[in-house]
Amino acid sequence: MKNIFIDAPPLTPDQAKLGRSKGYGDHPLDKYLKEGRIPHIWCSGCGIGIVLTAFIKALEKSGADPDKTVVVSGIGCSARSAGYLNLDTYHTTHGRAIPFATGVKLANPELNVVVISGDGDLFAIGGNHIIHAARRNIDLSIICVNNFTYGMTGGQGGPTTPVGAISTTTPYGASEYPFNLVYMAAAAGASYVARWTVLHTRELRDAMIDSMSKPGFSFIEAISPCPTAHARRNKLGSGLDIMRYYKEKSYLADELDRDETALGLADKIAIGKFVDVEKPTYLDMYNSHVADRAAQAAKKKKKKKK
């Protein structure tokens, strides 16, 4: 068969210049963003940008080596965070950020591997992966932006949508029980679990620093407004109104009680650090239980042969 493909126009000189942009470098945190990537895609009043800023500040404050820090994301508005960061970043398939990150980490344990993705991505389509990664205690930091909906696709109901919430696929109000993400992460075996809202920028930043230095599986839930697809339909107000709501209704909880930490449409929000334990990571266990024993078995065999 003769292949005739219609000619594709070559790169424009602008595109070929690595997307340089005017004003890049003026802000002291610009160095953590890839040049030419701003403006971002997020709506005004969206909380994802605050999560990204908290992460950048965590990078700065912790002194994490940007060359050795890798961010992996799935698909969704939250998952687009990866593409702005001036690090090695991988924007993968819907739900698969954690197994992809598992491969990145295990093939080079020296890397500090962070996953930033949404509630739908990590707990619906990727729900199986997150519980197994937590069970294995793989040394990953997971930052889950929970906006109670599928923002990217226009606001459908999902595994975190509170009972009664209106979405495009729950036009009469959601009837399913939602997941309690922090409770679930803890139950699955995470070494570190925290929940903050995007009002709590310093706490979020510090939790991110903790999670990156913590060996093992860390999980941070960042409660975040989606004015466009979730708040509007549920008459929760603007981004600013929702920040006010976070201020009024969030409170520091000192234990991870299942019912206390459950979230409703406009109820109180239990926040805080819920789990922070020391336990051997996946690789610690692999090395002590598998690699060392394999080496010993091989030695014994060799002796026998002689």
- Footprint of ligand TPP (CB under 6 A): 75-78, 94, 117-121, 145, 147, 149-153, 158
Burial of 303 (0-12, 13-18, 19+ CB in 10 A): exposed
Structure-derived torsion over alpha carbons of residues 230, 233, 238, 244, reported in degrees to the nearest 10:
-70
CA distance 298 to 227: 60
C-beta of residue 146 within 8 angstroms of C-beta of residue 101: no
187 binding other proteins? (CB under 8 A): no
Helical (H) or strand (E) element with 270: strand 269-276
3 interacts with, out of ligand TPP, ligand SF4, other proteins, none, CB within 5 to 8 A per kind: other proteins
125-154 positions binding other proteins, by CB under 8 A:
128-129, 132
Provide the token pair at 255.
């234990």
Stretch of 61-69, 158-166, 202-210, 258-266 lying at the interface with other proteins (CB under 8 A): 61-69
Tell me the per-residue interface mask from 31 to 60 with ligand SF4, x by CB under 6 A, - otherwise. Answer: -----------xx--x-x------------
Count the Cβ atoms, other than its own, within 10 Å of residue 4: 6
Provide the token pair at 66.
């940007």
82 binding other proteins? (CB under 8 A): yes
Count the Cβ atoms, other than its own, within 10 Å of residue 143: 27
159 interacts with, out of other proteins, Mg ion, ligand SF4, none, CB within 5 to 8 A per kind: none
CA 239, 245, 246 angle in degrees (round to 5)?
90
- Closest separation in Å from C-beta 186 to other proteins: 19
Size of the site for other proteins (CB under 8 A): 59
DSSP H helical ranges for 4-47:
13-16
- Closest separation in Å from C-beta 301 to Mg ion: 53
Q: Is 223 helix (H, G, I), strand (E, B) or coil?
A: strand
**Count of H helices and E strands in the chain?**
10, 8
CA distance 63 to 58: 8
- Closest separation in Å from C-beta 237 to other proteins: 31
Size of the site for ligand SF4 (CB under 6 A): 12
Q: In DSSP terms, which residues pair with 114 in a beta bridge?
A: 71, 141
Tell me the per-residue interface mask from 190 to 209 with other proteins, x by CB under 8 A, - otherwise. Answer: --------------------
233 binding ligand SF4? (CB under 6 A): no
119 interacts with, out of Mg ion, ligand SF4, other proteins, none, CB within 5 to 8 A per kind: Mg ion
106 binding other proteins? (CB under 8 A): yes
Stretch of 67-75, 152-160, 229-237, 251-259 lying at the interface with other proteins (CB under 8 A): 67-75
Chain centroid to CA 194: 12
Which residue's beta carbon is nearest to the bound Mg ion? 118
From the list 4, 26, 44, 110, which residue makes contact with other proteins (rule: CB under 8 A)? 110
CA distance 124 to 129: 10
Q: Which is nearer to other proteins, 137 or 261 (CB)?
A: 137
Half-sphere exposure at residue 47, Cβ-oriented, CA atoms within 13 angstroms: 32
Q: Which residues bind other proteins (CB under 8 A)?
A: 3, 5-11, 15-16, 18-19, 34, 36-37, 66-68, 70, 72, 75, 82-83, 86-93, 95-96, 98-108, 110-111, 128-129, 132, 286, 290-291, 293-295, 297-298, 301-302
